[in-house]
Chains A and B, each alone.
Chain A
Amino acid sequence: MIEVRFHGRGGQGAVVASTILAEAYALEGKWVQGFPFFGVERRGAPVTAYTRASDKKIRSRVQIYEPDYVVVLERNLISSVDVTKGLKKLLLINAPDDQDLGKLKDSHPDLKIARVNGTAIAIRNGLGSRTNPIINTAILGAFSKCSGTVSLGSVLAAIGGRIPAKSEANVRAATEAYKEVVIC
């Protein structure tokens, strides 16, 4: 079983990211679940969403407490949300540089931390606005590369299936992020 948790802010597309990822795993023949944190959502407030994938039918009907992977759509969330809680393998974060990530690395020596500048990729591909870039498709390209659990082709196909608008720009952003993601 693969369990992924997304952290973002209301309006950034964390929930949509969890659904695209579920679709991508399903395209590879896996059983999946994709769901938001069962809470109340407001634009700008911290939002959590989840994806599960397994070769067997998934029976667990609880939220994810010990994810294999965590994806953070906005760097400044790490100061207010315990993004590494229960995390087992890898943290992928949208950040332009390594600032603040050193501390995370020091306090979690067993975790792999990956970084991609999803904001810059989204802006140069015209996704969202300069102040409100939509980076969920870019970050999924990066997730494909650094987790190795789902192919870029499946992610791109799922993006095409789930997001009819700006399909080409979204596919380009995911592909660029796939190439640019680095392990810190």
Chain B
Amino acid sequence: MRMILTGNYCAAHGAKLSRAKVVAAYPITPQTTIVEKIASMVATGEYDAQYVPVESEHSAMAACIAAEMAGSRAFTATSSHGLAYMHEMLHWASGQRVPVVMPVVNRAIGPPWNIWVEHTDALSQRDTGWMQIFCESNQELLDTVIMAYKIAEDRRVLLPAMINVDAFYLSHTLENVDVPDQDKVDSFLPPYSIPFKLDVDDPLGFGHLIMPDGWMELRWEIERSMVRARKVIEEVQTEFNEVFGRSYSSIEPYRCEGAERVVVGMGTMTSTAKDAIDALRRKGERVGLIKMRTFRPFPGDEIVQLLDREGIERVGVMDRSTSFGSDSPLYGEIKSALYGRSDVMINGYVIGLGGREIKVDDVASILKDLEVGERGRVKWWGLKIEGESGDEMKSEAKHGPD
């Protein structure tokens, strides 16, 4: 059904269409309208689920873990400080192998307070054992919620999935969305089942202490599942396309054919960037874009192969996040994947933190900078401090303080 929906309502519809039977959540701007919408749909009987109004995000995830262990598909959503507060339970979810699905409306973490988009909240959870997928549009968000359950619950995976949603650019923006029919979703997404669950008739113990001689093997299981998930994600995306006619991929190249210079990004910046690429292509510039949909598991091989196949020479990685004192997160990942396998020039650009807009001109100026830029730099793009970017900071460090 064609509807006009905000990203947050798409997330809510995604939970309902996926028949998540337990929703435990705590409201936080800009995630609030996801759980408001769900609470309202549950209250009117439109959505058959148990809504648990918990007192914190930590408890929200604890409730979701327990629900999934007891045999019910669970859903929650959060943002920023809420995600940070949930951190311990994120490890618990992946360690317990419960395939919870959770949209995170990406927002900067204070202080000072800032309610606008930044990816640092999610990327700070990099090592929790959650899959992470970034979305470019409301349709992609709705579709990804449904796909994420299928991926996460696959017996080859059994890991939780985080769906990243740019604050306001998706969460509070109405767009045309094709909401799939429940019958079709039911035929695509089988009923929830996990291999081990809490059952009074077949009692099992969970959450034991494990000695050093067993721990590494359990962690290896998670690692192996994360690697397998790369294949499962592609399989599920292919099947989704067959059923619903919408195509997604872990990395999505845009006009990379014959490109010399490309920018790489995640989330809504890749949408605006397409306008920049089209404008520059019209002027005859050989430029392209790589949209990263999956951040964990990281599709490093696919990136290397794509750059190699297309003969791309220069890469600018746009990060809506930073890792103080080192490479920005996505830039570091891609640089690491390229090590020893490619000698393409790659620079990092920290841009759009705390909701600062990433406009067509910003993307164009990064592509311009790549023409002349020096390799291996991280630059803070668009800083309002005269004469300062990551460049100057780096040379200052090199030469030491005065």
Interface string of A26-43 (1 = CB under 8 A from B): 100001111110101000
Number of interface residues of A (CB under 8 A): 18
Among B233-241, B245-253, B351-359, the stretch that binds chain A is B351-359
Does B275 make an interface contact (CB < 8 A)? yes
CA gap between A14 and B317 in the complex, in Å: 38
CA gap between A8 and B184 in the complex, in Å: 42
Measured CB to CB, the nearest residue on chain B to A38 is: B168
Residues of B within 8 A of A38 (CB): 116, 167-169, 172, 355
Known: A35-B168, A61-B272. A26 touches B358 (CB 8 A): no
Decide if B173 touches A35 in the complex (CB within 8 Å): yes
Does A19 make an interface contact (CB < 8 A)? yes
Decide if A63 touches B271 in the complex (CB within 8 Å): no
Decide if B168 touches A26 in the complex (CB within 8 Å): no
Known: A38-B168, A63-B357. A33 touches B274 (CB 8 A): no
A-B contact count (CB 8 A): 56
Decide if B357 touches A34 in the complex (CB within 8 Å): no
Tell me the smallest distance from the CB of A164 to a CB of chain B, in Å.
Answer: 13
Tell me the smallest distance from the CB of A32 to a CB of chain B, in Å.
Answer: 6
Does B36 make an interface contact (CB < 8 A)? no
CA gap between A40 and B355 in the complex, in Å: 13
Partner of B174, one of A19, A59, A60, A63: A19
Residues of A within 8 A of B169 (CB): 38, 61
Decide if B275 touches A26 in the complex (CB within 8 Å): no
Does B161 make an interface contact (CB < 8 A)? no
Measured CB to CB, the nearest residue on chain A to B278 is: A59
Interface string of B368-382 (1 = CB under 8 A from A): 000000000000000
Does A3 make an interface contact (CB < 8 A)? no
CA gap between A22 and B176 in the complex, in Å: 9
Known: A60-B272, A62-B359. A32 touches B172 (CB 8 A): no
Decide if A32 touches B174 in the complex (CB within 8 Å): yes
- Majority-rule SS of B interface residues: mixed
Interface string of B162-198 (1 = CB under 8 A from A): 0000111100111110000000000000000000000
Residues of B within 8 A of A19 (CB): 4, 174
Decide if A62 touches B357 in the complex (CB within 8 Å): yes
CA gap between A31 and B357 in the complex, in Å: 22
Decide if B176 touches A31 in the complex (CB within 8 Å): yes
Does B346 make an interface contact (CB < 8 A)? no
Does B269 make an interface contact (CB < 8 A)? yes
Decide if A26 touches B176 in the complex (CB within 8 Å): yes
Decide if A32 touches B272 in the complex (CB within 8 Å): no
Residues of B within 8 A of A35 (CB): 168, 172-174
Decide if A34 touches B173 in the complex (CB within 8 Å): yes
Residues of B within 8 A of A61 (CB): 166, 169, 173, 268-269, 271-272, 358
Tell me the smallest distance from the CB of A136 to a CB of chain B, in Å.
Answer: 15
Decide if B272 touches A22 in the complex (CB within 8 Å): no
Measured CB to CB, the nearest residue on chain B to A58 is: B175
CA gap between A38 and B167 in the complex, in Å: 9
Decide if B174 touches A36 in the complex (CB within 8 Å): no
Interface string of A101-143 (1 = CB under 8 A from B): 0000000000000000000000000000000000000000000
Decide if B174 touches A62 in the complex (CB within 8 Å): no
Does A23 make an interface contact (CB < 8 A)? yes
Decide if B174 touches A33 in the complex (CB within 8 Å): yes
Decide if A62 touches B272 in the complex (CB within 8 Å): yes
CA gap between A143 and B167 in the complex, in Å: 30
Decide if B358 touches A62 in the complex (CB within 8 Å): yes
Tell me the smallest distance from the CB of A73 to a CB of chain B, in Å.
Answer: 19
CA gap between A32 and B138 in the complex, in Å: 12
Decide if A59 touches B173 in the complex (CB within 8 Å): no
Scoring B4, B172, B358 by chain A CB atoms within 10 A of each residue's CB, the highest score goes to: B4
Scoring A26, A31, A61 by chain B CB atoms within 10 A of each residue's CB, the highest score goes to: A61
CA gap between A62 and B360 in the complex, in Å: 9
Interface string of B105-124 (1 = CB under 8 A from A): 00000000001100000000
The 24 listed contacts between A and B (C-beta, < 8 Å) are A19-B4, A22-B4, A22-B174, A23-B4, A23-B174, A26-B4, A32-B174, A32-B175, A33-B173, A34-B174, A35-B168, A35-B172, A36-B172, A38-B116, A38-B167, A38-B355, A59-B271, A59-B272, A59-B274, A60-B275, A61-B268, A62-B272, A62-B357, A62-B359
Q: Which B residues lie at the A interface, using CB under 8 A?
A: 2, 4, 115-116, 166-169, 172-176, 268-269, 271-272, 274-275, 355, 357-360
Q: Which A residues lie at the B interface, using CB under 8 A?
A: 19, 22-23, 26, 31-36, 38, 40, 58-63
5 closest A-B pairs by beta carbon, nearest first, are: A34-B174, A35-B173, A61-B268, A38-B168, A59-B271
In the complex, given contacts A35-B168, A60-B272, what are 16 additional A-B residue pairs having Cβ atoms less than 8 angstroms apart?
A19-B174, A26-B2, A32-B4, A34-B4, A34-B174, A38-B172, A38-B355, A59-B271, A59-B275, A60-B271, A60-B275, A61-B169, A61-B268, A61-B269, A62-B357, A62-B358
